Amino acid sequence: MMIPPCDSTKARQRGIAATEFVIVLPVILLLMLGTAELGRAFYQYNTMTKAVRDGARYLADNAIKGATGVIDIDAATEAETKNLVVYGNTTGSGSPLLEGWSPAEVTAAGFDAAHIRVSATFAFKPMFSKIPAFGLGEDIVLELNFQAATTMRAL
């Protein structure tokens, strides 16, 4: 019995789509995970910069004591500013806005005679913190250090 040419072409084509899928799947997964990780990094950086800006507004409002016109940042105001940046409230209660962030990574001080400055750093840790080198050298570390600072005129 002779198989028609059309059927033999179909038989030879069977499995091609599955093979192409297996070849393309790792690339697609890598692109999807990279996009998700980049979005996560932008989200955390944006959260950090907004928190630093809010802390600078709070410190600018509370830096001048009385009608002296001189910037005087006491320890309590500095601690409240750091707590506001990290926790979103001046008491320091609750969990940090970013996982692993602490008030020690925030500085709040006078910048000059009329301005204050709040700055912060945050170590962004991606889901996969290292790319293995498979014995061909050192592993590639993927951690990023985010920095944000805001300077405002003291009110």
pLDDT tens, 1-16?
A: 555 555 666 666 778 8
What's the whole-model pTM score?
0.79
Q: Are strands 106-110 and 115-124 parallel, antiparallel or unpaired?
A: antiparallel
pLDDT at 137: 79
Statement: residue 96 has pLDDT above 80 = yes
Evaluated on CA atoms 81, 86, 87, 93, the torsion sign reads negative
Average pLDDT along the chain? 88
Q: Across the chain, how many H-helices and E-strands are there?
A: 3, 5
